[in-house]
Amino acid sequence: MTRFSTAQRRRNKMQASETRSIGPWRALRIALRIVLFSALAWLVLALLWAFLPSPAMIKTDGHVASILRAGKSLTRVYPAEKWHTGRSYDRRGFALEYTLNPPTAAYPAPRLAISGSDVPIPLYNFNLPNNETEIDMNPDFEFKAVARIGDRDGANLPWFKFADSILLFWWIHRENMDMSLTATWELGEDSDVPGVQNQRFEILLFNPHAHSGREPLVSIDTSMVRHGKEGATVDVVSASLGEESDSPTWTYPLRVAIILVLAPTSIFVNDWFGPILSAGYSALGTALIIAIGVLIYGFIILAIVVSFWKCFRGPSLETMVGRVQGRLDMWRESGRFSWARIDIIQDGLDRIHEEARVQAVLRVCREGWHPERERERRAREQGEEAEAIEKGGVKIRIRREWV
């Protein structure tokens, strides 16, 4: 009976809650909770975006060759300044994507597909004569590729890796650049195995104004083994990418997923609440500047007032320095403040006290200032110096020792 009544009461309570209308205060609380949890989730994603580690994905050229052999896509980011391209777009880097297609009956050699190019390019040139060192696909061959371009600013933070920064910038702005590239093949070193021929395949940036010479964007060494008159097998021996280029890190895909969430919400908030937030930031900045100015100038005015009071009404500077030196001696002898280098502080205090300009200010405080008195003082000092020189003596300033 008790269980039945308890279950019945629970069902009645649920039915009552379902039929009860949502009042304005309850709706406001629900809306505030949604906003609060959304802001908290946004903050967590922003912290992950900022402080995720960035371990390198590709460390050696052998790793590059293994990725290409597996048929996976390989993204490489190049600095625009080194290859003298992309600067016209005011961007600091460009990215190309490489994929190695396996050989087919029509193409016995693997072919390299580059982002935006129409036709994959074979890695091995079977028409390359043995008595020549280099040949293009045809004398005037030039093919097009599409590179993603980006920069290191925007939503990127200073400690992000170069490749990650360029690609993350692209995900927000989606800027591309058409590039003219050329492919070359060169005969490699003679193999010790009969019937094996080595070649080097390179992709070069077709830019007559470039100062990078013939430095390739990608270089792949291949080895061809013939099987009779018709058949042949081409293998990728090694692969290397352009100097100073880099690949995205392991955490780059996570940052891409995060920025795809953060960027739209940030744009939405900026479009709807940007003027309000901008006015608030401006008011807060103005208030901080005014507060800092009041503190600084107030401190200066207070220091001037206290200095004049100490000068005319307070103890002499010698007495104050003596007290401070005595306290510093106590701290130095106790040994508790050995890390503070009290002896250096004491020497600096003595030098400040013995400074001629400090002594001149003290004389003004004690005796007042008058042009005739100042001329008399200078004449008196010059007379003392002349008298000392005539007697062959040397004027020595005695350092005060404080007890």
What DSSP string runs through 297-360? HHHHHHHHHHHHHHHHTS--HHHHHHHHHHHHHHHHHHSTTGGG-HHHHHHHHHHHHH-HHHHH
Q: Which helix (DSSP H) or strand (DSSP E) does residue 402 occupy? A: none
Within 8 A by CB and 6+ apart from 219, the residues are: 200, 201, 202, 203, 239, 240, 241
**End-to-end C-alpha distance for the chain, whole angstroms:** 95
Nearest alpha-carbon partner for 241 in 100, 75, 111, 114: 75
Per-residue pLDDT of the chain (403 residues; tens, 9 = 90+): 444 566 676 666 666 555 556 677 878 888 888 888 888 988 899 899 889 998 888 767 788 888 888 888 999 999 988 876 545 567 889 999 999 998 887 777 888 999 988 888 888 887 766 544 444 444 446 788 999 999 998 888 889 999 999 999 999 889 999 988 888 888 877 666 666 788 888 888 865 444 445 688 999 988 888 766 666 788 888 888 887 888 999 999 999 999 888 888 777 766 676 677 678 778 888 888 898 888 888 777 776 676 666 665 655 666 667 777 787 888 877 777 766 677 777 787 778 777 777 777 666 666 655 566 667 777 888 888 888 777 765 444 444 443 3
Q: Is the pTM of this model over 0.75?
A: no
Please give the sequence-ordered ranges of beta strands (E in DSSP) within 196-259, or none if there are none. 196-205, 218-227, 231-241
- Separation CA 154–CA 172 (nearest Å): 9
Residue 114: what are its φ and ψ, rounded to 5°?
A: -115, 145
Within 8 A by CB and 6+ apart from 69, the residues are: 100, 236
Nearest alpha-carbon partner for 55 in 258, 254, 250: 250
Token readout for 297 is 């100038």
Residue-wise DSSP of 255-300? HHHHHHHHHHHHHHHHHHHHHHHHHHHHHHHHHHHHHHHHHHHHHH
Q: For residues 191 and 92, is the Cβ–Cβ distance under 8 A?
A: no
CA dist 142 → 6, 29, 89 (Å): 82, 64, 22
Q: For residues 233 and 225, is the Cβ–Cβ distance under 8 A?
A: yes
Q: Is 265 exposed, middle or buried (0-12, 13-18, 19+ CB in 10 A)?
A: middle
